[in-house]
Structure 1
């Protein structure tokens, strides 16, 4: 098949699913929001049928739940679950940062600095919707460097167990984004200095502060 041939167009259900998935993952549709099929159909210029199909897929992804008389709602875990999630992340990612400080290579450090520079440039341009996903890469890359045997897999399973990316909306707030980027810069400096204590402390504070911001909003 030649590359010039057009690819089959995305089905309407695929299109609706991809739009809603992106809006939920980026925090533009926050947890607890009711999703009405008719409203989404009107907004996206499609009939209700593909919207219902997309909502069923989002339910399988554990991103939305159905309740009697309420319909589809974006999943919003309670404060205790949020605190547990961030506490677990702080332990796993903090340990990852501590271990990474002892073994990071100049190439790995340069790659992290490049990612940090790209995030800073996006924030300065006001393109905050990309920062949540980039931050995920930044954190997981550090854990992979520190704990390639076990820790990287644990960090991913913790993040994947939480249905809605909890810190996505945090990155949409300019003040919060700056504070998060400052913490990333501090972690990079500690990694470069080979200071495991500082790398762990800054990472733990950084993750916990994201959790506190989430539970107070």
Structure 2
């Protein structure tokens, strides 16, 4: 891994997880000192982050982490709802019994963690659940689209609705309904429930 790749991967992770919040100024010299590299790879990494639209340059201000507001939040969850909803619709027509069994295993693991109060595990498992469905429905390129959408938008771990005990049952029930629709091959229901499920997550984020 080159030094620029290293700096890029560290900053990308810090921005995606909101450890560096939107609106933060990124000074190349400070980043270089913190990560123990020269300024050159930092500048290269910052250019790549600008291409990713995660930072912006302004005259006299230098690089600033893009602060994504409510409109971007609505766009993110709207796009996820469309892509993941389509993934569920397509998956209903082509899912195999093995794929369904593996999704049910993942769902059972989530229900077990929820029952034992291990809520911190649920967000990553839910992401796997969603992406696995999209991969089943759209293995050619829909799965790649779903991943790039999720990676474009930082979700601070503490903002996950899976950490909200009042939300967990409803979310698991939605996953159960999606599984039932996939099992019965009901494309309309699979898409409808997935879209509603993703939009609810967006509503939760907006108010927290």
**TM-score, length of structure 1 as denominator length:** 0.69
Q: Is 1:180–1:206's contact at 8 Å kept on the other side of the alignment?
A: no
Q: 1:191 to 1:162 in 2, by over 3 A?
A: closer
For residues 69 and 160 of structure 1, the distance between their equivalents in structure 2, rounded to whole angstroms, comes to 32
Aligned length, in residue pairs: 202
Could you say which residue in structure 2 is the equivalent of 1:79? 70
> 1:157 & 1:164 partners in 2: Cα distance?
11
* SS at 1:200 equivalent: helix
- When residues 54 and 163 of structure 1 are mapped into structure 2, their CA distance, relative to the original with a 3 A threshold, is same
Return closer, same or farther for 1:158/1:36 CA change in 2, 3 Å cut-off.
same
Alignment of 1:39-58 (within 5 A): 39-58=30-49
Task: Establish whether residue 89 from structure 1 lines up as the match of residue 80 from structure 2.
Answer: yes
C-alpha displacement at 1:96, in angstroms? Answer: 2.7
CA distance in 1, matches of 2:35, 2:60: 24
What SS does the corresponding residue of 1:109 show, helix, strand or coil? helix
- The alpha-carbon deviation at position 160 of structure 1 amounts to 3.3
Q: 1:48-127 to 2 correspondence within 5 Å?
A: 48-116=39-107, 124=118, 126=120
Q: Paired residue for 2:3? A: 12
Q: State whether residues 96 and 143 of structure 1, in contact with CA within 8 Å, keep that contact through their aligned partners in structure 2.
A: yes
Gaps of 5+ in 1: 1-9
Unpaired segments ≥5 residues, structure 2? none
Root mean square deviation of aligned Cα: 3.7
Deviates further, 168-177 or 197-206: 168-177
- In the other structure, the counterpart of 1:171 is 160
**Moved beyond 6 Å, runs of 4+:** none
67-76 vs 33-42, which moves further:
33-42
TM-score by length of 2: 0.71
Q: 1:187 corresponds to which residue?
A: 178
Of stretches 113-122 and 85-94 in structure 1, the one that deviates more from structure 2 is: 113-122
Map Cα deviations across residues 109-132 of structure 1 (whole Å, 9 max, x no partner).
13333455666759928457x82x
SS in 2 for 1:65: strand
